[in-house]
Chain A
Amino acid sequence: MRTSGESVCYVDLTKGKCWREEVTPETISPYLGGSGFGWALVAKHLLPKVDPFAPENVVIINPGVLVGTRTLGSPKFTAITKFPTIASEDERFYVGSCTGGGRYFGIGLKQAGCDHLVILGQAEKPVTIHVTNGGATIEDASQFWGKGIEETSVELVRRFGDDTGVLAIGTAGENSVRSALAIVDRTNSLGRGGLGAILGAKRVKAIAAHGTGGIRVVDPTAFTRLSDELLERAVNWSRRAHWVKLGLAAGWSTFKHTQNPGIWPKERWDELYGEEKRLETLNRVIACASCPLSCRLRWVIPDGEFAGEPGLGSPYSKSATSGQLLGVEDDRKMIHLVTEANSLTGIDYYTTARLIDFVTRMYDQGRLTKEDTGGFELHRDYSTYQQLFRMTAVREGFGDVLADGWMRLKKEFGLDPQEYWYAGICKGMDFIYDARPSKFHPLMMTFFTRPRPHHGGSHTRTNSRNKTIEEIREQVEHWGLPKGTVERIFTEVAYSGKFNVGRYTRYAEDLMRVKNALGLCTIYTYQALIFADDMARLYSAATGDDLSAGDLVQHGERISNVAKVVNIREGFTRADDRPPEVWFRPMEAPEGRIEMRDYYETKALTKDDVARILDDYYDERGWDLQSGVPTRQRLEDLNLAELASEGVG
Chain B
Amino acid sequence: MRASTGRLVIWAERCRGCRSCQLACSFTKLGEFNPGRSCISLDRDLETERTAPMIKPLCCDLCDGEPACVDACKYGVIEFQPGPKRLIDVRM
Question: Residues of A with Cβ closer than 8 Å to B?
Answer: 68-70, 103, 107, 111, 154, 157-158, 162-163, 186-187, 212-216, 220, 224, 231, 234-235, 244, 283-292, 294, 298, 310, 312
Contact = CB atoms under 8 A, between A and B. Distances in A.
Given A103-B18, A284-B50, A285-B16, A214 B37 contact: yes
B48 A298 contact: yes
Given A214-B26, A214-B34, A290 B20 contact: yes
A163 B33 contact: no
B37 A287 contact: no
Given A70-B27, A111-B36, 12 more contacts: A70-B24, A154-B46, A162-B42, A216-B33, A224-B27, A284-B49, A284-B50, A285-B16, A287-B17, A292-B75, A298-B48, A310-B48
Contacts of A216: 31-33
Interface string B1-45: 000000000000000111110011011001111111100001110
Interface string B64-92: 00000000101100000000000000000
Interface of B: 16-20, 23-24, 26-27, 30-37, 42-44, 46, 48-50, 72, 74-75
6 contacts: A107-B35, A157-B46, A187-B49, A215-B33, A244-B75, A283-B48
A312 B31 contact: no
Contact of B34 (A212, A234, A284, A288): A212
A439 B33 CA distance: 42
B31 A294 contact: no
A287 B33 CA distance: 18
Nearest to A232: B74
8 nearest A-B residue pairs (beta carbon): A214-B32, A287-B16, A287-B18, A70-B23, A292-B74, A214-B34, A215-B33, A162-B44
Contacts of B48: 283-284, 298, 310
A487 B35 CA distance: 46
A592 B85 CA distance: 68
Contacts of A290: 18-20, 23
B49 A186 contact: yes
A310 B31 CA distance: 40
B49 A298 contact: yes
Contacts of B36: 111, 163, 212
Nearest to B36: A212
A283 B37 CA distance: 31
Contacts of A234: 74
Contacts of A69: 23, 33
B34 A70 contact: no
A178 to B, nearest CB: 30
A297 to B, nearest CB: 10
Contacts of A231: 74
A625 B52 CA distance: 55
A70 B16 contact: no
B30 A214 contact: yes
A286 B86 CA distance: 31
Contact of B19 (A107, A187, A283): A107
A133 to B, nearest CB: 11
Contact of A294 (B18, B32, B33): B18
Nearest to B31: A220
Contacts of A283: 48
Nearest to B25: A70
B77 to A, nearest CB: 11
B13 to A, nearest CB: 9
Contacts of A162: 42-44, 46
A289 to B, nearest CB: 5
Contacts of A157: 44, 46
A226 B40 CA distance: 24
A235 B16 CA distance: 15
B19 A215 contact: no
A204 B68 CA distance: 40
Nearest to A289: B19
A176 to B, nearest CB: 30
A197 B44 CA distance: 30
B16 A286 contact: yes
A70 B37 contact: no
B32 A70 contact: no
A70 to B, nearest CB: 4
Nearest to A153: B46
A294 B23 contact: no
B73 to A, nearest CB: 9
B17 A70 contact: no
A214 B34 CA distance: 5
A127 B23 CA distance: 32
A163 B74 contact: no
A446 to B, nearest CB: 28
Given A162-B42, A214-B37, A291-B18, A312 B49 contact: yes
A163 B23 contact: no
Nearest to B28: A224
A289 B22 CA distance: 10
Contacts of B75: 244, 287, 292
Contact of B33 (A154, A214, A285, A292): A214
Contacts of B31: 216, 220
Nearest to B14: A244
B21 to A, nearest CB: 9
B74 to A, nearest CB: 4
A638 B79 CA distance: 51
Nearest to B33: A215
B39 to A, nearest CB: 15
Contacts of A285: 16
Contacts of B74: 231, 234-235, 292
B89 to A, nearest CB: 23
Most buried by B among A70, A285, A286, A312: A70
